[in-house]
Structure 1
Amino acid sequence: MLSIGEFSKICEVSTKTLRYYDEMGLIRPDEINPENGYRYYSISQLKKMLLINRLKSYQFSLEEIKAILELDEDQFEEKLCSALLRKSKEVQDKLSALEYTLQQMGRDILHLETGIPIMSYLDEIEVELVQTKSMNILYLRQMLSRDDYALGYGMFFNRLFQKIATEKLTILGTPITIYHSPEYNPTGNDTEFAIPIKEAVKGTRDLPGSLCAKSVVKGSYSELTSVYAKLREWIEHEGYEMVSSPYEVYVTNPYQVTGAEDLITEVYFPVKKK
């Protein structure tokens, strides 16, 4: 048996963390001395602790790790493999985002070194006034927090595509996200996911055509906030006002492009003249 101190030293996990893991049921001491409360771990538990450390280094949350450790033995390898594949995709997405950020920083440094203001890129964002046509959309509407966005987008669009496949519906356009909340709230935003289809069935509605200020983003979704700011500036400057919720049309599928620089997103702000 190993004392909590010895177990802590071998696995490089503090005794405070080990006590917390015990409280949450992640890994419990094999034995607790009833007289003095000293905690002891078995040699066999080293393997489990090393697995926990390994999964943590792969960016799994403690809740995710606990769920994995509670899997039945006959399902463990298969479910763990699936979880690792999913987490690998998440890590790759983060790496791609960091690479894009580094490229952006490099451009900003180059601009500053040559006397170009860091925010001058806003002047390069083009805005045009367009008249859109009405669309019949299959939709799902959900309150989503900031942390929900990454997984939520894929999950809800997948549900829509599954319904389209099951009911043999006809797709007429690429996915759309409509943002209904009047202000940003990190705890939850009224978000509508939609796909234009031909058939009017349960779960569809009309997205009316309207006059819109439109801009196109070529690159990472992180650029969208800059485009939103440019659109609002243009609307104010040109004497228009917003009449309904802004929406994004995803021209490219993020799962089918080689990098963030290949993403194309159209942004529409429905407007009318003041």
Structure 2
Amino acid sequence: MECEFYSIGKVEEICKITKKALRYYDKMGILSPDKIMDENGYRYYSKKNLLSVPMIKYYKQSGFKLEEMKEFLAGAPYTLFENSFRDKIDELKEQEKEIHLKLRSIEDWYGLIREAEMVLKNNVCNVSIKYIDRCQMTFLDQEYNYDYMDSIINIEFTNYIESIKNAITGPVIIQFPSFKDKVEGKCKNIRIMQETILKCDADKSIEYGGEMVISCYHIGSHSTIDETYKKIQDFISEYGYKCDEEVYERYVTDYWTTQDENKFVTEVFVKIKR
């Protein structure tokens, strides 16, 4: 005949749960032994009591804390289950949003690092024509003084994103209003942009991409980026392309990723006019 009670060691073996956890559950009033032998303090559990363990594991898997499980295990009314489960669903949905945001940010950054590695490994610095995918960008217009580090790691832009309760991902992109002024050191204003993750008001974002551009990667310090502008100018002249006046710099790897300027990778591109 099967034993009516099980020692704590046997419960550990049967239910795959540690003695430490069982003692803690007892302390919390979640799962207490049916009897404790006075002479040696040994704990014994009935088979019926052990059936609470799968329930505890399931509630734990579902994100409930021990304090929240207590009433469930005691046989709470359906209304308490309904309210608690609805609240837990709302709580987990918020956590899901946060995790998605974090995952998206890390995946996009990882993608930039991989892109830079391929550019550096293969010395990709020839001018080409490519298509840019369409997306929504959050932006901020600013004054510009040719301080790259201050523009890319941008305190004002970071504060602005926080003020509109949004989140951004991907590379920093700066739009310069004039290709010519940028090269000649006469640019006074810029538009800094990054892809927005959360939905925001129409006046706080712009549509970006969905167009063909003339593009060229620049490898190395931003102080020598005019060399890449010259390549693009020569390419436009040679093939007779008509391009917009604005020019963009997309910072694949920069001060956010490395202090070694030799490993900076910047994509310079200009939109082709239709």
Could you tell me the TM-score, scaled by structure 1's length?
0.47
Could you tell me the TM-score, scaled by structure 2's length?
0.47
